[in-house]
Chains A and B, each alone.
Chain A
Amino acid sequence: MKTNSKNSTLMAWLLVLPALLIFALMILYPFVNSIFTSFTNKNLIFPKNDFVGFENYTKLFKDPNTLPLLFTTIKFVFFSTICPFTLGLIWAILMNEKFKASEFMRGLTLVNWIIPGIAIGFLWNWIYNGDYGILNALLNKMGIIDSNIIWLAGKQTSMVAVVTARTWQMFPWYMAFIMGGLQGVPNELCEASRIDGANNIQVFTHIIIPTIKPVLILILILGTISNLQHFDLINVMTDGGPERATSTFAIEVYKKAFKEYNLGRAAALGVIWAILLGSFSFIYLRNLKEDN
């Protein structure tokens, strides 16, 4: 470990320099500048850029769409984190049994997570297609429904549809982390408590869960942050519709800025979004510190 020489401090900074420059140009400057933009009427097409004080914010607070936007975002983020987390946990337990095909199956599930979001969006659009989709065909055959459901056009069903696609995409990611955690569970401890008469459920709740708890908390936080940022699937599948039923901050800020060209308003909405994300990242950082 090098501490004192001037030369090595210089080298240390030179090594970080490219990262810092790119970070400053592509993230820090745009972030700070966007906060200023939120107090202007800046527009992407008209050359106006005047200071308007808190006007963008007061308009947002009066806008009847803002509160539903917050609820929709929370709904999407909550279910898109909890559902794949649960499936990922169960799937990790199954894949951890090390049966013949387990390694192959684990790899194959991870394909869901690695392929482009656009392909996943197209695939689920096709599955949900009202007239010719396989989902309606299957449900019809099983006698669960007798008329086709237009999944992506219903206010309730569209949210279920988007969350399902997101679950399909992300549960392998949760599985991978949980499997990493399961390797740290001491087998002797499981054996010992079994001799004391514990059954599977007791071993699970008293030994396995406490051991992997740090990993579980970590992926819940990281998953929440990534769902708060998520854009691709909603954009491809519903574009926030029908009637804003699946419109989250990520979709709405993009639309305000690049479809309505209202950069000031988009920035104000984005700042509220940033506060939401910031609070979760704060929890993440505190969590990391405790681990060290």
Chain B
Amino acid sequence: MFQKSLGFRIFFWTFIILIGFFAFFPQLWMISTSLKPETEMYKISFFQNFDLSNLNRILHNSDFLGYLRNGMMVAIISSILSTAVSAFAGYSFSKFRYKGRKQVMAIILISQAFPQGLLLVSLYPMLQNMGMIDKFPSIILAYIALTLPIGTWTLKAYFDQIPNSIMEAACIDGASDFTTMIKIVMPLAFPGMTTIAIYSFVWAWNDLLYALTLISTTAKRTLASGMIFTFTGEGGNDWIGMMAASVIASIPVAIMFVFLQRFFVAGLTAGAVKG
């Protein structure tokens, strides 16, 4: 695309060093701090004296383990349900033509732009009246709702690429509409479904706002809101503990992502660009 002229080489090396440092140094700094012995917390050192005791300490903190467990459970359930709900809706938008279809699609897309804080102003009293504050189903429902716009539109784009002739052939063979969808079309959209499953998992795992608002007891906290409460007040100066917890919190999503990177990025960008 570009000629490897002297000017281009200077441009290339300048920014690979500058942006590379900006991107990667903080990552390494997080890991390096989490591996320091506590006595060296305030010493500027970079990957000297490895000490796993802080990671160990955080992993043996029963509150933190609870946050991890709750977070994992909420993220897995949200991910499965959100993928199913998005897939059904996306399939309907892609393979059927009916009155009101475009309006429903548009309103689901626009819902991304409803301010989340404004929604919570009513969601909190509503859930309170239903006795649903501090209950996992409330945040799971919220995560499904918040991941629906990207989920539905991305999967619609995937189903659009699957030719209708495949469905018609199945119909002739006597399969019902529902069987055709579950057994024939959905497996073909597997990359798209995986993308949305990861997307919803990450959303739920990372969310702070809803968890902070709708969950009120320590025993029910999920990861992000639990971490806030662990490291405020007295814990506010435990930088090593904070970095250790951050590394542990980042590992599940980072691993998931490294394995499925190509799938994921291509899937998400394609969905948004094609609409």
Contact = CB atoms under 8 A, between A and B. Distances in A.
Interface in B75-106: 84-86, 88-89, 91-93, 95-98, 101, 104, 106
B166 interface: no
B108 interface: yes
B98 A257 contact: no
Given A19-B85, A19-B152, A250 B117 contact: yes
Interface stretch (B52-60, B188-196, B248-256): B248-256
A278 B110 CA distance: 8
Contact of B1 (A13, A107, A132, A185): A185
A126 B36 CA distance: 14
A30 B111 contact: no
A123 interface: yes
A97 B15 CA distance: 13
Given A18-B88, A218-B272, A26 B142 contact: yes
Nearest to B116: A229
A214 B246 CA distance: 36
A208 to B, nearest CB: 7
A76 B256 CA distance: 31
Interface residue tally of chain A, by bracket?
A: 35 or more
A176 B265 contact: yes
Contacts of B22: 87, 168
Contact of A96 (B1, B97, B118): B1
Nearest to B117: A253
A270 B117 contact: yes
B121 interface: yes
A87 B19 contact: yes
Contacts of B253: 114-116
Interface string B135-163: 00000011011101000100000000000
B50 interface: no
Contacts of A127: 26, 29
Given A19-B152, A177-B269, A187-B1, 14 more contacts: A1-B97, A16-B93, A19-B88, A23-B145, A112-B23, A116-B250, A129-B239, A200-B3, A236-B208, A250-B115, A250-B116, A253-B121, A267-B122, A291-B275
